[in-house]
Amino acid sequence: MKNFDYKKSLGQNFLFDKNIINKIVSSINPNEEDLIIEIGPGAGALTKELKNKNCDKLCFEIDTRLKSILSSLEDDKLKVIYEDFLKVDLSKYIDKKYKNIYFIGNLPYYITTAIINKITKEAKPKEIVIMIQKEVGLRFMAKPNTKEYNSLSIFLQYNYDIKKVCDVSRNCFDPIPNVDSVVLKLIKRPYSIIPNKEEEFYKLIHDSFVHKRKNLRNNLKNYDLNKIENTLKTFNKDLTVRAEQITIEEFIKISNEI
Ligand code: SAM
């Protein structure tokens, strides 16, 4: 974009590839009574196309310098809020009248995880379509016994069915970032089994991965290790395993026993 001083600190790499823009926008199909929330509209690459969707749209952009571009896109059904998405109280903006919430965005990579955590905990989106750094995408979708599998993989796969929409080359952006990207679609689902206490399940996975190279006996010192060991035995495992060897179902079972 001519005469625009891109801020690297805000992850400002604007997408210009029409084919990718279409793939992202056409991957959601909301109804009139739904709400789309776009995070970081930038110069409106996705926002312009989202205008064709017949539902309300709310965009959160931190950089007020983009007002001059984005204000021309605003109308009865599309509003831009100039605030740090991480600091907004989403409950103030999500009216109960909406049937389903869809999140969409080419995320500023420096806060990808914080954004996903916020969305998952503060809203109950039907779907999330996000562009993120490719390596981070691999972690989101990682399976047990791989080096990418971590507490975030479990948190996300417990909450969502995750599908890849497309890979995106760094050359599709201005300015060109030094990483490639991937677009993922996260579809909210009830998991096959449910923890008795969700917050305790999240804490257990967080604590289990605190020191990635350590086994469960060391990472979970402050838990009732006898109970954990008894549950592990039912999957032919013991306390010498590392968290990356435990499946989501197994973590849920452990969390239900402690
Ligand atoms: N959606 C545009 C596109 O696809 O070209 C811009 C994407 S750019 C990767 C990320 C955008 O997020 C930038 O416009 C940046 O200013 C904005 N942003 C960065 N941090 C933000 C935050 N905390 N809250 C809201 N927007 C933020």
Please tell me whether residues 96 and 155 are part of one structural domain.
Answer: yes
Please tell me whether residues 67 and 149 are part of one structural domain.
Answer: yes
Q: Residue 206: give its domain's CATH number.
A: 1.10.8.100
**Residue 125 and residue 119 in contact, taking contact as beta carbons nearer than 8 Å:** yes
Could you tell me if residue 139 is inside a domain? Answer: yes
Please tell me whether residues 103 and 217 are part of one structural domain.
Answer: no
The alpha-carbon radius of gyration of the chain (Å, integer) is 20
Please tell me whether residues 30 and 135 are part of one structural domain.
Answer: yes
Single out the residue in 188, 206, 230 at which a domain terminates.
Answer: 188
Please tell me whether residues 96 and 210 are part of one structural domain.
Answer: no
pLDDT, residue 37, reads: 98
User: Against a cut of 0.85, is the pTM above it?
Assistant: yes
Nearest CA to ligand 1 atom 1: 41
Q: Report how far ligand 1's centroid is from the alpha carbon of 62 (Å).
A: 7
The residue type of 187 is I
Helix (H, G, I), strand (E, B) or coil at 103: strand
> What does DSSP assign to residue 244?
G
| Cα distances (Å, whole numbers) of residue 250 to 12, 51, 193 | 40, 44, 10
| DSSP β-bridge partners for residue 182 | 132, 167
| Range(s) of the domain holding residue 210 | 198-257
Single out the residue in 188, 215, 234 at which a domain terminates.
Answer: 188
Could you tell me if residue 1 is inside a domain? Answer: no
Single out the residue in 188, 218, 240 at which a domain terminates.
Answer: 188
pLDDT, residue 124, reads: 87
Residue 120 token pair: 């998952």
**Residue 206 and residue 219 in contact, taking contact as beta carbons nearer than 8 Å:** no
Please tell me whether residues 85 and 109 are part of one structural domain.
Answer: yes
Helix axes 225-233, 248-257, angle to 10 degrees: 140
**Residue 42 and residue 17 in contact, taking contact as beta carbons nearer than 8 Å:** no
Q: How many domains does the chain have?
A: 2
**Residue 182 and residue 171 in contact, taking contact as beta carbons nearer than 8 Å:** no
Q: Residue 81: give its domain's CATH number.
A: 3.40.50.150
3: Cβ contacts below 8 Å, ≥ 6 apart: none
Please tell me whether residues 161 and 93 are part of one structural domain.
Answer: yes
Could you tell me if residue 18 is inside a domain? Answer: yes
pLDDT, residue 2, reads: 79
Could you tell me if residue 173 is inside a domain? Answer: yes
Please tell me whether residues 184 and 248 are part of one structural domain.
Answer: no
In ligand 1, the atom with minimum distance to the C-alpha of 14 is 5
In ligand 1, the atom with minimum distance to the C-alpha of 86 is 23
Please tell me whether residues 116 and 223 are part of one structural domain.
Answer: no
Could you tell me if residue 2 is inside a domain? Answer: no
Nearest CA to ligand 1 atom 14: 42
Nearest CA to ligand 1 atom 10: 108
Could you tell me if residue 228 is inside a domain? Answer: yes
pLDDT, residue 93, reads: 93
Please tell me whether residues 251 and 131 are part of one structural domain.
Answer: no
Distance CA 103, CA 244 (A): 29
Flag residues of the chain having pLDDT under 70: none
Mutate to test the pocket of ligand 1, among 38, 58, 59, 62 (most ligand atoms within 8 A of CB): 62
Please tell me whether residues 25 and 150 are part of one structural domain.
Answer: yes
**Residues near ligand 1 (Cβ within 6 A):** 10-15, 39-42, 45-46, 60-63, 84-86, 106, 108, 111
Distance CA 75, CA 171 (A): 32
Mutate to test the pocket of ligand 1, among 4, 9, 10, 84 (most ligand atoms within 8 A of CB): 10
CA angle 55, 48, 130 (to 5 degrees): 80
pLDDT, residue 58, reads: 98
Please tell me whether residues 173 and 142 are part of one structural domain.
Answer: yes
